[in-house]
Amino acid sequence: MKRRLIAAIGVAGMIVSIAACGSDDGKGGDSDALTVWLTVDAQNNWPNLVEAADAAVMKKHPGLKIKHEFYGWPDKNTKLDAVLATDKAPDVVEMGNTEMLGYMVKGAFAPLEPGKFEGSDAWLDGLKASVTYDGKTYGVPYYAGGRVANWRKDVAASVGVKTPPKTYPELTSALDKIQKKEGDKFNAWYQPTRDWYAAMSFVYDAGGAIAKEEGGRWKASLSSPESVKGLTAFKQVVDKYMHGDKTKDESDRYLVYGQGKSAMIFGAAWEGATSADPKNDKTGKLKDNLENFVMPGPSGKNMPVFLGGSDLAVPVKSHNQDIAAEWINAFTGPEGQKGLIAKGNLPNNKTDLATLKNDPATAVPATAAESNWFVPMAPGWGQVEKAQVLQTMLQQIGTGKKSVQDAAKAADAAIDKVINTK
C-alpha cells in the first residue's frame, strides 16, 4: 500500500545510515554485512525500532554490519527491479502488500517458514494472504492500515443525529435526512464511483468475491448473485448520496471532503484527519468536528475492509537469507509491534489488534480491521489492476451506461482472460 503520508513526506532517493561492504559467503552462513531496504516511514517515524532489530541480530552475530537504504515509494521498485537482475540484491526489502504478488509470481523472493516468525499463527487474514502464493509464504507482514467511515458531527447533529450509526439502516436514515436538508448540490456521502476498494467491501459484505479459485485455477465471480447484490448496494449509495463527478476515483477524496460539500466519506483511516489539516480545510470547521466510526454493512455485520499495509521479503538472490529472516523476526516481533502501535499503526496480528479494541483511542480502526479482505492472489491479478477492469465496471454502473448485471458480466469476461496468466 502506497500511503499518501509517505508521499507527503517528499523524501526521494535513499539515505544510507550504516555503511558496510557486502559478502558472498553463502545464503545460510554468517556474512559480514546485511543490506536492508525500507521506505522512509521507518527512517522518519520509528528509527529506534530499526536500531533495536539491528542490535538484536548483531548480538547474535558478532562482527556483522548492517547497511540500511531508505526509499520514497515512487523510487523503491524502480531501484529494486534493476538490482534483482544482478548479484547486488538486498537481503531484506519492504514491499507494499499490493506489490507482493507480481514479485512472488516471478520467483523474485525466497520462500520463508512462517513458524520462524513470532506471532505468525495470528497474522491478520488480509496480510497473511498478501504474502502467500501457490501455498507458500514469501514474506512477513510488517504492519497494517485499515479503512473507516468518517463524518461531520455538526452536519449529523443538524438533523438530530448525535452519535455514530451502529447499523446500516441507522446510517442510511441519517444520510437521507442530511441529503434532504442540504439539497442535491451536497454529497451526504462523498463516494467516488471508481473507488473499487469501497465497492468490493460491499461485494464481500454480501458474500460475493472478485474471483474464486477452483481446482487450481481462478474464475471471476463479480456476476454471481451475491456479488451483484453487493454491487447493487454500492450503486444505491452512489445514486442517492454522491452528487459529484461520477467518473472520479478516490485519489483526491480528502481534498474534496475538506471543501465542505460532503457529510461523510468511507476510506483510509488517515483521510479524515488530513482533510481537517488547515491547508486542506476550506471551511474552517473540520478540526475537532470529524469523527471516525466503524462502517456498518448492509449484511448486518461490520463492513469488511480492504487491509493495506507493508510486508518484508527476502529476495531469492540474497546471500544472507537466514540472517535476513532473523532480522525480520526481530523487527516484526512483539516488541516491534508495540513500537509500531505506539506510532499509530495497526499491528500485523489478531492478538495485538484485540487489545487495541479495548482502548477508546484505537477501538474504531482496530474493530474495523477485524473483518477484512484482500485481492485474489492469482498470477494474472496484476494485469487486471493494470487494465483497471474494476474501475471501468464501476464507472459504467455509476453513470448508468450499463446495468449492474451487464457491467459485472463484462468485467468477469475481462478478468477471466488474464487472471491465470503469469
> CB of 197 within 8 A of CB of 250?
yes
**Same structural domain, 60 and 172:** no
Is residue 365 in a domain?
A: yes
Is residue 290 in a domain?
A: yes
Q: What is the CATH number of the domain that holds 271?
A: 3.40.190.10
Is residue 26 in a domain?
A: no
Q: Please give the model's pTM, rounded to 2 decimal places.
A: 0.90
**Same structural domain, 247 and 356:** no
**Same structural domain, 267 and 345:** no
Is residue 90 in a domain?
A: yes
Looking at residue 340, its pLDDT comes to: 96
**Same structural domain, 226 and 320:** no
Is residue 8 in a domain?
A: no
**Same structural domain, 155 and 281:** yes
**Same structural domain, 112 and 232:** no
Number of domains in the chain: 2
**Percentage of the chain with pLDDT > 90?**
90
**Same structural domain, 247 and 266:** yes
Q: What confidence tens digit (pLDDT) does each residue in 236-253 have?
A: 999 999 999 999 999 999
**Same structural domain, 101 and 161:** no
Is residue 4 in a domain?
A: no
| β-sheet with 92-96: strand ranges across | 65-71, 33-39, 92-96, 308-313, 140-145
**Same structural domain, 197 and 167:** yes
**Same structural domain, 127 and 50:** yes
Q: What confidence tens digit (pLDDT) does each residue in 138-196 have?
A: 999 999 998 999 999 999 999 999 999 999 999 999 999 999 999 999 999 999 999 99
Domain encompassing residue 247: 147-306+376-417
Is residue 93 in a domain?
A: yes
> CB of 103 within 8 A of CB of 109?
yes
Is residue 270 in a domain?
A: yes
Q: What confidence tens digit (pLDDT) does each residue in 261-296 have?
A: 999 999 999 999 999 999 999 999 999 999 999 999
**Same structural domain, 324 and 295:** no
Per-residue confidence band for 32, with pLDDT thresholds at 50, 70 and 90: confident
**Same structural domain, 294 and 314:** no
Place of cell 446510517: 171
**Whether the predicted pLDDT of 101 surpasses 70:** yes
